[in-house]
Amino acid sequence: MKPNIKVLVVDDEHDVELLFRQRFRREIRKGEIELLFAFSGEEALSVLERQGKTDVVLVLSDINMPGMTGLELLCRIKAEPPPVPVCMMTAYGNDTYQRRAHECDCDGYLTKPIDFPALKDRIRSFADSHV
């Protein structure tokens, strides 16, 4: 993992922040990864705007959120350059969701409960390919 890569986690459940911070506590402590959180699709877009898209190597978004759904967020992010990898995470193993996500060029589709070791590998691979 390259130092200081940023991952934006989007979920309307606030406890997700605590969970992710603990799951990634070692990486955070070593300064390998920085986690950003947004609790709605709209907030995620403004975080991206503020941070600058190039700093964020990956967006992890829940699908089912009030207001802008994760799928809409995905499509919005993908609609404007530069491309930012986006992985969806959802409790629904729903084919339609998955198809729609891939239509919008989704970079990964994780089902909840999330397999964190696998997620970490994934982030590493995104970070490696991130220029």
Partner 1 sequence: MRSLPNRPCAHALLPYLLAVCTLTTAPARAQEAPLPNPAIREAPALRFEHLSLEDGMAQGTGNSIMQDREGYLWIATQGGLHRYDGHTFKVYANTPFDTTSLSASWGWSATEAANGDFWVATEGGGLNHMDRATGTFTHYRHAPDDSTSLSSDRAFYALEDRRGDLWVATLTAGLNRMRAGEDGRFTHYRHDGDDPASLSSDVLFGITEDPGGDIWVSSANGLNRIDPETEAITRYLYDPSGNPGYRAPQNVISAWFPPDAPGVAWLATGNGLVRLHTDTGAYERFLLAPDRAPENLIHQVVPDPSAPGILWVAGPGPGLARFDIQAKTFTPYRHDPRDPHSLADNNVQSLLVDRSGTMWVGYANQGISAFNPGAVNFAHLRHDPDDPASLSPGNVWGVYEDQEGTLWVGTANGIRTWLTRFDAATGRVTRYTHDPSDPTTLLPGLYWAFAEDADGHLWTAGNGAGGLNRFDRATGRVTRFRPDGHRIGGVFALIPSRAHPGVLWVGHNRGLDRFDSATGRFTSLPMHPPDGGDDPVVLSLIEDPAGIVWAGTAGKGLARIDPTAGGGKEVVTWAADYDPHDTTSISDPRVQSIVMREKEPGILWLGTFNGGLNRFDTRTGKATHYLKEDGLADNVIYGILVDDAGTLWISTNGGISNFDPDTDTFRNYGLDDGLMALEYNQNAYGKGKDGTLYFGSGNGVTAFSPERLRTNTIPPQVALEDFKLFNESVAVGPDSPLKKPLADTDLITLRHDQNEITFDYVALHFANPAKNTYAYRLEGYDPDWVAAGTHRSATYTNLPPGDYTFRVKAANADGVWNEAGVSVGLVVTPPWWRTWWAYLGYALMLGGLVYGVDRTQRRRLRKKETERAQIREAEIRAEAQQKRREEAERLSEIGRAITSTLSIREIIDTVYENVNALMDAAVFGIGIYNEKRGRIDFPASKEQGETLRPFFYRVDDPDRFAAWCFNHRKEIIINDYETEYRQYVSRDLPPVEGGSPKSVLYLPLIHHDRVVGVITAQSFKQNAYTDYAVSILRTLATYAAIALDNAAAYRKLGNTVEELKTTQAQLVQSEKLASLGQLTAGIAHEIKNPLNFINNFAELNEELADEVVEVLEAGDTEEARAILDDLKVNAAQIAKHGKRADGIVRAMMQHARSSGGERETVDVNPFVEEYLNLAYHGQRARVPGFNADLVTDFAEDVGTAQMMPQEMGRVLINLLGNAFDAVYEYAASQNGQYAPKVTVATRRVGEAVEIRVADNGPGIPEDVKARIFEPFFTTKPTGSGTGLGLSLSHDIVTQGHGGMLAVESVPGEGAAFVVTVPG
Residues in contact with partner 1 by CB under 8 A are 13, 15, 18-19, 22-23, 25, 64, 66-67, 69, 71-72, 91-92, 94, 96-97, 100, 112-114
Distance (Å, whole) CA 59 – CA 37:
10
Q: Which is nearer to partner 1, 32 or 72 (CB)?
A: 72
Pick between residue 20 and residue 126 the one whose CB is nearest to partner 1: 20
Residue among 52 and 67 whose Cβ is closer to partner 1: 67
- Label residues 74-110 b or e (16+ Cβ within 10 Å = b): bbbbbeeeeebbbbbbbeeeeeebbebbeebebbbbe
Q: What is the smallest separation between the CB atom of 76 and partner 1, expressed in angstroms?
A: 13
CB of 91 to partner 1, least distance (A): 5
For partner 1, give the closer residue by CB, 39 or 97: 97
Residue partners of 35: CB distance under 8 A and separation at least 6:
6, 7, 9, 17, 20, 21, 24, 28
